[in-house]
Each structure stands twice: as structure tokens, then as C-alpha cells.
Structure 1
Amino acid sequence: MTLAQDGGTPVRRAAWPSWPPPATQEQRDLLLEVLDSGAWGATSGTKVNEFTEAFTRSVGASYGVSVVNGTVALFLALRALGVGRDDEVIVPAYTFVASATSVVLAGARPVIADVTPDTLHLDPVAVGRLIGPRTKAIMPVHLAGAPADVEALRQYGVPIVEDAAQAHGATRHGRPVGTLGDAACFSFQSSKAMTAGEGGLIVTDDEDVYRRLWAFHNVGRSLEGGWYEHPDVGWNLRMTEFQAAVLIPQLAALDEQVATRERSVGFLRKQGLDILPEPVGTTRSSHHLALVRYEPRAYGGRSKADFIAAMTAEGIPLDSGYRSLSREDALRPYSDLQPCPVGEAAGDSIVWIRQSLLMADEEDLADIVTATVKVQQAFSRR
């Protein structure tokens, strides 16, 4: 069978589900309510507080603060936990660059640790080799929506900041992501499981941490102080009422959407796709992504880039994913970049199926499998 990129017929011509999903009437009504009210900022409206409280309850945390994006959320969590100049924060090699740049933003030094070969989550053994007197926090990433092994990181006795940008609704040993560390940070950027285009939220069970978070995101004000009292140095990093209006209805849809993606990943695994497992202890993954291991030997030695190009031509838009932070030269002035063999190998071999595809039904998902087999057979003949 001729590949589409060689002039053959694509496996799929139909569109995939859109992400974010089409706007609901409730979202339209809430947006118009905010627009007509003239109370567009968090300090004058009610929607940001409503959303923050509802999301924080859904996580099972005591306190929450909504901010402009996920990177800022990580930065503020670090600052609220006392991370600053000349401190070190350990982050995983296989993650988005913001995990490291948020540390730089806080004035600290990101220390890149390798990941586990099976799950690509932060490796507690690698962390143990890097922990030192300047280590002030560890930032596990709940990669692809699967909770990291936070318990194994607790042994080192330093604060844990959960990067939960991809893990809305996930649980570990029945406990929601967001309640596993000292603070947890969620993102509402366009690709995320809940989205307002941009936005972020930090949750914590520590009242002192919450008070610092609130002050830092609200130009240094205190909860009890006046408008022009600024006992702390802070910034205007507040979410807008428009963002909150878009997000409020999405909480009710989250569980069903997560269940859909769980079924999709289960189907693809049964069809033979080599999707990475979740860490032991995962009781629910949000499956923001399905991470597929690509083995060139099974595809006639062709590169990952060749595979993605061929699949895209067949109507299956895959993503090449991260490259290891240990290869990000932009971080070199801020971090002693040591080799991370597992993370670097993952950058060369892992292919992503994004959540928009995972929202499809089984008939559509079967096209992913059909195209994979078609490309594998064609590559193996060459």
C-alpha cells in the first residue's frame, strides 16, 4: 500500500475533535455577564473567587490562588516556599522548559535530574545523587497527566512543588494531584485539560504559604490590609474575570472527559501501541497525552521525524514532544547541564498523541492503529 506522502490515499481525511471543545451556552452567558457588569478584574468581580474556591475544593486542598499562567504559578509557589537567590531546585529532564525557567525567574538554579526509563517521571535515585545543602525544593512533573511518585521524594526532607500543569483530575493512591506536595501548580493554557487560553492556579494546605502566595500575586498586599498597604514586594499576577468565566463550567465536564481519554488509551494499548505505563500507584491519570515509544529498528531504521511526517500525511497529526532539558543551551548560564541519558533518549524516541485525538471514539482511534501499521510496513520494505 502506497504511503500518502508518496501519492497514496491517506488513511484519514476527516477532522479530529477540536480542542478546546466548542464553547457552551453557559460559557457564553457567563462571559456576557462579566462583560456587561464592567467588573472585569479579579479585585472588582466575583468569578475569579468563585472559580478558585470551586477548583480548590475539587482538588481537596485548603487554599488556592488563581494567576495569569502556569509558569507564574510555579514561580510564585517557589517564592512562597522561600526559594530565592543561590538556592537550587531539582527538576526532571523530560518536561517543558517552564519547569526550569520558573526556577530561574525565582532567582534560583535549576538542577536537571534524569527520569525513569519506564515512565519518564523524575527518578528519585537521580534526585538522591543531586541533593545538596543548597537544594530548597524538588519539582516533580505529573507527566502526561500521570501522578509522579511524590512519596519517594519526601525522603529528602525538602519542600515539594507539584508541576500539575497536565494533571487536572488525576489521583495517586486515591489522593488528588494537588494534595501530594507542599504546593501544586495547574495550568489553563490552550492545550490543557481545562483552558481559558492562559491562566494558572496554585493550591496548598499551608496557611502561611497561602498568605505569601496571595500577597505576591496581588502587588504585595495582605489579606487584612488596605488597598494602598504593601507590606510585601509583589506583582499584579491576577487572573481576569473573563478567564474565570470560561473555566467555571469546565469543572463539571472534567471527570467525563478524563474518563473518555482513559478509555481511548486503553483501546490503543489493546490494539498494540506501545504507550508508556503510568507510575505504580496511579489510580487515575488525566491522560493529557499518550506517550508512545518509537523504535526505529521496527520501522526499517527510519527516524522518528520520518515516522511523524508519514503519519501526518496519513491524517494522524502526532507530536515529537520534548527534548531533554539537559540539551537546552539557553539554560547553561543558569544550570550546570550534566548528561541525562534517559531523558535524552526519550527526546529521540517518544512520540505524543495529544488529547484532542484521545477525545475521539474507537472508530476514529482505529485510524491511528491502521496508519501506524501502514507506515511500519512501508518503511520496513524500503
Structure 2
Amino acid sequence: MNARQAPEFPAWPQYDDAERDGLIRALEQGQWWRMGGDEVNSFEREFAEHHGAEHALAVTNGTHALELALQVMGVGPGTEVIVPGFTFISSSQAAQRLGAVTVPVDVDLNTYNIDPAAVAAAITPRTKVIMPVHMAGLIADMDALAKISAETGVAVLQDAAHAHGARWQGKRVGELGSIATFSFQNGKLMTAGEGGAVVFPEGETEKYETAFLRHSCGRPRDDRRYLHQISGSNMRLNEFSASVLRAQLRRLDEQVALRDERWALLSKLLGQIDGVVPQGGDVRADRNSHYMAMFRVPGITEDKRNELVDRLVAAGLPAFAAFRAIYRTDAFWEFGAPDETVEQIAERCPNTDAISQDCIWLHHRTLLAGEPEMHATAEIVAGIVAGA
């Protein structure tokens, strides 16, 4: 491949006759919502089994998955939820919309995952949930977080929106002893445009049943007389989306393996570029699903980082600026913010501030291309960073 030419990457989302057949199957079954069809039920069984969970509940999107999970875990007014400062805003807003206070803590500068020491320091008598986010598919330090949870009685909720098919020391997300949520938004590792899921490990059947009621307006499965048992909302996934997700799930393992192989090469190449530091790993996270190919250019300003992203896009790479620290968004402060200033939170979250300022990520379809495209990608990054 000529390094001066833009590399060609596979399109995303990907689909074939499996999705087409699924959509026709959902169409022709004659019932298009979950209470009358079988696609959602089948997808939930298959997704739970794939992730080692006892139950899975499909919902409208990943943000609703977080909100629903937090609600059945007892989050509401008067409680606090600890989240990483470096994450997508839904991690905090799901708790804030329930009337809880979101408490951002710092992340590890190498993995970009929540720092267990910062979590331990932030726990108060009001803390109800610790929410690690498995950033870019790299599972957070679940050993340390499980220890903190056991010592304090504060439950863990895994935000696994990036971590479809990921593993920690051989264990799948549903085998790590805590509830987890997933997203199926258009850019995610498997998608139906929108969608989400909550997975429940062994021993959490009661919470699963409560979540089912709350996601369906408080109405039992077999209700014919509008006997709404508890307060809820309509978060039900439709049959068409579920049929697409069933097809997407079947090719997930192959795609994860390919991305893992390609990241081993691309991260090595990026690490050889002066001024570029790729996201690190954790040997205990023995299967990384690589939702994003992330790297930092330490020392540059946010404006300069944004210019780099624009130049990478112009050169043909699917590049994006990393998440803004949640406490540096107006949305975070509308309601449910801690009694602190931006500066006070930033002072205890220096790694979050740094990563938010100088980090760039490439869409995971980059990692579905061939080895020549990995070399071409690294050459483009090297040339543009050097030029900056």
C-alpha cells in the first residue's frame, strides 16, 4: 500500500443475509413487540449465555440500561454513585436522573480505567454504587473493586458499553459477580442502531424480575387487566432490533479476535512514534474487545489535539477527540452534582484532565482492516504528529 494514500477500512455497521433473514423472520411472525414475539426473548437467552450471566434484559438503549440497573440497586435521592471522571456522560447522567449525586474520581493514566484507590477514598455513608467503565473494552481492575465492595458493602455496577465479549482472568462480564450493562448504539461492537442490555449474575434473580417490571411500565408478563405492580417506564426493545442483534452476536467473537490481533500490531507501531503513547493494558484483562484504538499525545493543548483530529480525519482516518471530563460539561452541573467546584474535582482528577485534553481515538473498524492498513495508519499518525 502506498503510504500517501488513505487506507481503506471496513464499513460499520456490518451486515449480511443473517440480518436480512432476521428482519424478515421478525416481520412475518406477526407480533413486533417483545410481549408477543420471540426475537427479544431469544436474544436475551443468547446474550446472557455468551457473557456467562444468569439473566439478560434487553432495553431501548445503553443509557436506559444504566438507569434501570441503578434503580433496582437502590440508587435514588440521598445516595451517591462513584463514577470515573473520564467516561461518556451517560455514566453520570443515569444516576443524576434518578435524583442521586454523581461523584467523579480519577482514572489510571495507563489504562484510562477507574482508579481503585480513588474509589476507596471517595466512599461515604451515602455511597450506594461504584460504577467502573471498561474503557475501550479493557476491563477495569475488578479484583480491587470487588475487595472494596466486600469491605464496604457498596455494590459494583459494571458499565460494559465497550466490553462485549471481553474477559477478566478468563471470566466473562456476567461471571464477575456484579450486574453489568451494555449498549448497542450504532458505533458499538454489536449494534441495531440503538439498544441496550442489563445482565444479572447468578443470585440476582430478584433484581432481574424487578427490572423486568420497571422496564415494562410495572406490568407483569401475563397481565391482561392493567395491574401495574410498581412504577416504571417503557424501555422495551422491539422485535426487529432484537433480530438484528442476534445476527450481530454470532460474529462478535471473530471480530473481537481480529481486533485484538490488529491492536497488538498497531499499538506497537504507535508506541514507536515520538510523542505518542497508546492506551496500556492489564495482563489480567486477558480478552480486550477494543471498542476504540486510543492513544495520547502528552503535553499538547486541547485545541492542538482537536486540530490533530481534524487533520487525521482529512487524511482518511476515523479519528475522534476523547471524552471530555464529565465535570467539565454543563450537563453534569444541571442537577445531581457533588458540593464541589470544577477546580476542586479537577485537583483530585489530574489524570482525567490530562487524558481528556490530549487523547485521540480511532473507531474500532480501523482494527478490522489488514496489517498493511495498520502500518499506513501509524505512518499517517506519525507524519501529522511530527508536523504539529
Partner of residue 371, structure 1: 380
Partner of residue 48, structure 2: 56
Structure 2 residue 13 is matched with structure 1 residue 20: yes
- SS of the equivalent of 2:180 reads strand
1:107 alignment partner, one of 99, 108, 115: 99
Partner of residue 210, structure 2: 212
Partner of residue 182, structure 2: 186
Which consecutive aligned stretches of 4+ in structure 1 deviate over 4 angstroms post-superposition? 223-227
- SS of the equivalent of 1:248 reads helix
Structure 2 residue 138 is matched with structure 1 residue 146: yes
Alignment deviations for residues 204-254 of structure 1 (CA, whole Å, 9 cap, x no partner): 120111111111111112356555221111111100000011011122211
Alignment of 1:284-299 (within 5 A): 284-296=287-299
- SS of the equivalent of 2:37 reads coil
C-alpha distance in structure 2 between counterparts of 1:272 and 1:104, whole Å: 38
Structure 2 residue 352 is matched with structure 1 residue 343: yes
Partner of residue 198, structure 1: 194
C-alpha distance in structure 2 between counterparts of 1:132 and 1:296, whole Å: 35
C-alpha distance in structure 2 between counterparts of 1:244 and 1:302, whole Å: 41
Decide whether the 8 Å contact of 1:59 with 1:178 is kept in 2.
yes
- Length-normalised TM-score, structure 2: 0.90
Decide whether the 8 Å contact of 2:7 with 2:373 is kept in 1.
no
Partner of residue 315, structure 2: 314
What is the number of equivalent residue pairs in this alignment?
368
Deviation at 1:327, TM superposition (A): 1.0
Q: Which amino acid aligns with 2:12?
A: W
Alignment deviations for residues 32-84 of structure 1 (CA, whole Å, 9 cap, x no partner): 12223331100110000000000001111111111000000001101111111
**What is the percent sequence identity of the aligned residues?**
37
Deviation at 1:181, TM superposition (A): 4.3
Partner of residue 166, structure 1: 162
2:231 alignment partner, one of 227, 230, 233: 233
Instruction: Sort the Cα spacing of 1:75 and 1:377 in 2 relative to 1 into closer, same or farther, 3 A.
Output: closer
Partner of residue 274, structure 2: none
2:247 alignment partner, one of 246, 249, 255: 249
Gaps of 5+ in 2: 272-276
Q: Which moved more, 1:216-225 or 1:74-83?
A: 216-225
C-alpha distance in structure 1 between counterparts of 2:103 and 2:6, whole Å: 44
Decide whether the 8 Å contact of 1:162 with 1:178 is kept in 2.
no
Partner of residue 69, structure 1: 61
Q: Which amino acid aligns with 1:334?
A: G
CA-atom RMSD, angstroms? 2.0
Partner of residue 286, structure 2: 283
Q: Which moved more, 1:133-142 or 1:362-371?
A: 362-371
Decide whether the 8 Å contact of 2:292 with 2:363 is kept in 1.
yes
Alignment deviations for residues 2-36 of structure 1 (CA, whole Å, 9 cap, x no partner): xxxxxxx9833454211111x21121112112223
Q: Which moved more, 1:329-338 or 1:285-294?
A: 329-338
2:267 alignment partner, one of 266, 269, 286: 269
- Length-normalised TM-score, structure 1: 0.92
Instruction: Sort the Cα spacing of 1:227 and 1:342 in 2 relative to 1 into closer, same or farther, 3 A.
Output: farther
Instruction: Sort the Cα spacing of 1:302 and 1:49 in 2 relative to 1 into closer, same or farther, 3 A.
Output: closer
Q: Which amino acid aligns with 2:337?
A: S
Gaps of 5+ in 1: 1-8
Decide whether the 8 Å contact of 1:68 with 1:200 is kept in 2.
yes
Q: Which amino acid aligns with 1:19?
A: W
Instruction: Sort the Cα spacing of 1:353 and 1:14 in 2 relative to 1 into closer, same or farther, 3 A.
Output: closer
2:116 alignment partner, one of 116, 124, 136: 124
Partner of residue 39, structure 1: 31
Deviation at 1:106, TM superposition (A): 1.8
Decide whether the 8 Å contact of 2:7 with 2:377 is kept in 1.
no
Q: Which amino acid aligns with 2:321?
A: S
C-alpha distance in structure 1 between counterparts of 2:72 and 2:387, whole Å: 54
Deviation at 1:294, TM superposition (A): 1.0
Decide whether the 8 Å contact of 2:217 with 2:232 is kept in 1.
yes
C-alpha distance in structure 2 between counterparts of 1:69 and 1:209, whole Å: 19
Instruction: Sort the Cα spacing of 1:341 and 1:14 in 2 relative to 1 into closer, same or farther, 3 A.
Output: closer
Decide whether the 8 Å contact of 1:221 with 1:230 is kept in 2.
yes
Q: Which amino acid aligns with 1:215?
A: L
C-alpha distance in structure 2 between counterparts of 1:87 and 1:377, whole Å: 48
